[in-house]
Amino acid sequence: MTEIQEKNYLQMKSFVDRNHWTNNEKAEVNCKRIDVQNGKFNCVVKVYETGTVQVQGGESKLREALLEAKKAIENEENIGEMLPFEIERFPEVLRERVPSIDPIIVRFIEEAIVTIKAGSNLGCAFLLGGASEKAIYLLIDTYTAAIKDEKLRNKFVSRTSGKFISRVFDEFKGSFKSSQNKPTGYGWANDLEIKIEHIFQFCRICRNEVGHPHLPPNLDKGVLLANMGQFVKYIEDLYQLIGYYQINEVKG
């Protein structure tokens, strides 16, 4: 396998895997092949020794996505693990999956995309942290309003008002875990740390490193891109919680 063939093949395979499409790899005489399936649609991706990528299959959203990836890869537009068109679609995907999303969150993500593509890792980290913090405060405001017992609500407010976001989140997490009712079907009873906290803490720490640089921040573009890739699901999960507490009372 030539160097350019291997590079382009690995990027196509990574793109397919990130989308969780069923796929099988095959080696042919003059190319490497991936058979891709998404629902009832099937496509074949072939990567030749010259680096050329060929996409075969009937018209479908799957084929359209694979053709976009082919174009970006052949034009050497990659900026790390993710491809430019994937990142650029984040605001659109957020609006599709979360129609009620706060426009400030979307604006910060749009600006974060501009900065990461321009090579400004620090700017991207700061903006990503801002988007995350806005979403967390929206969740906590909704959670607070859902505490109908005035005594409990005032107690929660006294523990969170005027505090740093890390302390506010810790208070929320403690209250959430001790509450008698939680959303079902999402794994929320046990998975708050996995669904929310890991990305929240990453964004918070990176933002602090940029905003309060006691030491020169050392932010790797690949790590930033990986967390940007998870950010859409993170916001989607946050808004599922927000939606739950918009219609359900917190029972302490």
Segment 108-166, tens digit of pLDDT: 999 999 998 888 888 998 999 999 999 999 999 999 999 998 999 999 999 998 888 99
Annotate 53-73 with DSSP letters as a single string: EEEES-SSHHHHHHHHHHHHH
Q: Does the pLDDT value for residue 83 go beyond 90?
A: no
Q: What are phi and psi of 96, to 5 degrees?
A: -65, -45
Give the span between the Cα atoms of 247 and 132, in whole angstroms.
23
- Classify 30 as helix, strand or coil: coil
Q: Which single residue is written with the structure tokens 């996409």?
A: 55
pTM for the whole structure: 0.72
Averaged pLDDT score across all residues of the chain? 86
| Count of Cβ atoms closer than 10 Å to residue 139 Cβ | 21
Short-list 249, 211, 252, 230, CA closest to 94: 230
133 three-state secondary structure: helix
Q: Is 32 helix (H, G, I), strand (E, B) or coil?
A: strand
Which SS3 state, helix, strand or coil, does residue 37 take? strand
Confidence (pLDDT) at 146? 94
Q: What is the C-alpha separation between 251 and 85, in angstroms, rounded?
A: 44
The C-alpha atoms of residue 135 and residue 130 are separated, in whole angstroms, by 9
pLDDT of amino acid 71? 87
Question: Residue 185 pLDDT > 80, yes or no?
Answer: no
Distance (Å, whole) CA 53 – CA 79 = 18
Q: Is the pLDDT of residue 186 over 60?
A: no
CA dist 171 and 166 (Å) reads: 9
Q: Is the pLDDT of residue 101 over 60?
A: yes
Report whether 45 contacts 12 (CB < 8 A): yes
C-alpha 74/C-alpha 217 separation (Å) is 33
DSSP letter string, 154-202? HHHHHHHTT--HHHHHHHHHHHHHHSS---SSS-HHHHHIIIIIHHHHH
Residues 195-235 pLDDT 10s: 788 889 988 888 887 877 666 566 777 778 777 878 888 99
